Structure 1
Amino acid sequence: MNEWTQDVLDRLSDANEPSDVLAQISVATRQLGFEYCAYGLRTFVPFTRPRTLMFSTYDERWSDRYINAGYLQVDPTVAHAVHSGAPLIWSNEVFRDAPQMWDEARSFGLRVGWAQSVFEPDARVGMLSLARSGEPLTVAEILAKDTLLHWVVQTAHRAFCRLLGGSPLEGLEPLTRRQVEVLRWTGDGKTSDEIASILCISKPTVDFHLRNAMARLGASTKCSAAAFASRLGLLN
């Protein structure tokens, strides 16, 4: 760890607001040769109402336009981030299905971008995007800065999560070993009778563990409990 990265860590440890984190990440962004940065945090549960929080140093007019135009739903960088941990370099090809958004973003100086996501085992994903108005990214620059970019992404994500909270695992009582077992088999489509036979226990015992697991997860059915637990990484 060099002096610069240690300084960023020290300043982030003192951050009390997301705006403080964004300010320090903005400093790191400029050190990496970019003008703007944006961080987004998405929580995948509840399944039908995933929550996304966003912070950026973009022009406020563009940030407002992005929200009001519903670009979050069509942004290909967001779609990539929630499914892949691979870095993404902005290009005409990346935005081919959102040409209006791409044209408008570039009109605000967001012409060259590099995005990287980081996944949490608690059904959350964070993404940091760095952008600038000119000087296209070269292979040499990407190779030279890739390690530092990953470090900044991880550091930003930890700092934002510390202040934002909201993890689906917060306040959740851990599942027992037997609850995990019955939920795994439930997720595989097995009935209580079949699970009882597989685990060599009685059906009432299986149902007992399922009810307790549902209560701990706040699920109304055993199938939703299995799906929820799986999304949170509790069945691994």
Structure 2
Amino acid sequence: MDIWMEHFCHGLDSASDAEDIFGCVVRAAAALGFEHCAYGARRPLPMARPRTLLLNSYDSRWQHRYVAAGYLAIDPVVAHGGRHAEPVIWSDALFRRSPQMWEEARGFGLAVGWSQSCFDAQGNGGLVSVARSHEALSAIELREKEPALRWLVNVAHLALSAALLREEQPRSLLTGREDEILRWTADGKTSPEIAQILQLSVNTVNFHVKHALAKLGAATKASAVACLIARFPHGPSTH
């Protein structure tokens, strides 16, 4: 194992949160010859408005400009990463439909870049980008470094996705009854049917559903069930 990999793994062992983990990723990227690094996570829920979380070591002025200009919506790197797991090299051709963004990015030292997405079993997508201000990526460098970069992308996504999910957990977790009712809902049972099964009133069932929706930030029972499955895909059933 390369020295930078050993340092990266040791760093992960002592990391306490997503910021610490990302710091390990930044140092690993530097060891591979890149000045800057970014990680973007896309949560599949809620389905109507999937959440996007961003961590990067870019110039703060570029970070502000990227958000203010709404570049996330037109970033071809993000668009590619949302559809493909194969890496992409930043180029004039890639940014042909967003030339102003490309010109501004290069002005902040993001002239040479490589990005790759990774998707986990829960549908969470992570995109890692490494960049530098000079020295184009040669075929020889790519051949030598791409296996290590692919490894970094996968390990970084697994570690960061898990850390971010822990940090996003609702402060008030579902009660046993709320969890039970949502699981019966996932089985296709209606409130009256659940009430009969659990020997509760329909009003009581609906009361628990209402509180579960609030805790999960879901608008409907269907989306609440989807949230529950995404958070605990292999969790034990209560029936």
Shorter-chain TM-score range: 0.7 to 0.9
Does the 8 A contact of 2:124 with 2:161 survive in 1? Answer: no
Match of 2:69 in 1: 69
Match of 1:159 in 2: 159
- 2:157 maps to a residue whose letter is H
- 1:95 maps to a residue whose letter is F
Runs of 4+ with deviation above 4 angstroms: 171-176, 179-182, 217-232
Match of 2:122 in 1: 122
Aligned partner of residue 83 in structure 2, secondary structure = coil
Q: Residues of 1 paired with 2:136 and 2:115: CA distance? A: 14
* Pairing 1:1-236 to 2, within 5 Å after superposition: 1-164=1-164, 165=166
Identical amino acids, percent of aligned pairs: 41
Does the 8 A contact of 1:113 with 1:129 survive in 2? Answer: yes
Q: Aligned pair in 2 of structure 1 residues 135, 220: CA closer, same or farther (>3 Å)?
A: closer
Q: TM-score, normalised by structure 1?
A: 0.72
Q: Residues of 1 paired with 2:53 and 2:129: CA distance? A: 14
Tell me, which stretches of 5 or more residues in structure 2 are unaligned? 197-208, 234-239
State the shift of 1:231 in Å. Answer: 9.2
Q: Aligned pair in 2 of structure 1 residues 223, 59: CA closer, same or farther (>3 Å)?
A: closer
Does the 8 A contact of 2:43 with 2:123 survive in 1? Answer: yes
Q: Residues of 1 paired with 2:11 and 2:220: CA distance? A: 46
Aligned partner of residue 41 in structure 1, secondary structure = strand
Does the 8 A contact of 1:45 with 1:123 survive in 2? Answer: no
Match of 2:201 in 1: none
State the shift of 1:141 in Å. Answer: 1.2
Aligned partner of residue 93 in structure 1, secondary structure = coil
State the shift of 1:13 in Å. Answer: 1.8
Q: Aligned pair in 2 of structure 1 residues 180, 49: CA closer, same or farther (>3 Å)?
A: closer
Does the 8 A contact of 1:112 with 1:131 survive in 2? Answer: yes
State the shift of 1:226 in Å. Answer: 10
Q: Aligned pair in 2 of structure 1 residues 37, 224: CA closer, same or farther (>3 Å)?
A: closer
How far does the alpha carbon of each residue in 1:184-218 deviate from its partner, in whole angstroms, 9 at most, with x for none?
xxxxxxxxxxxxxxxxxxxxx9xx9xxxxxx8x97
How far does the alpha carbon of each residue in 1:94-131 deviate from its partner, in whole angstroms, 9 at most, with x for none?
11111111110000010000001100121210011000
Q: Residues of 2 paired with 1:24 and 1:227: CA distance? A: 32
State the shift of 1:229 in Å. Answer: 10
State the shift of 1:166 in Å. Answer: 6.7
Q: Residues of 2 paired with 1:81 and 1:4: CA distance? A: 26
Does the 8 A contact of 2:118 with 2:127 survive in 1? Answer: yes
> C-alpha root-mean-square deviation of aligned residues, in Å?
3.5
Q: Residues of 2 paired with 1:25 and 1:41: CA distance? A: 14
Aligned residue pair count: 212
Q: Residues of 2 paired with 1:156 and 1:127: CA distance? A: 10
Does the 8 A contact of 2:46 with 2:223 survive in 1? Answer: no
State the shift of 1:162 in Å. Answer: 2.8
How far does the alpha carbon of each residue in 1:60-115 deviate from its partner, in whole angstroms, 9 at most, with x for none?
00001101111111111111111110001000111111111111000001000000
How far does the alpha carbon of each residue in 1:157-192 deviate from its partner, in whole angstroms, 9 at most, with x for none?
122123213789xx897999xx9998xxxxxxxxxx
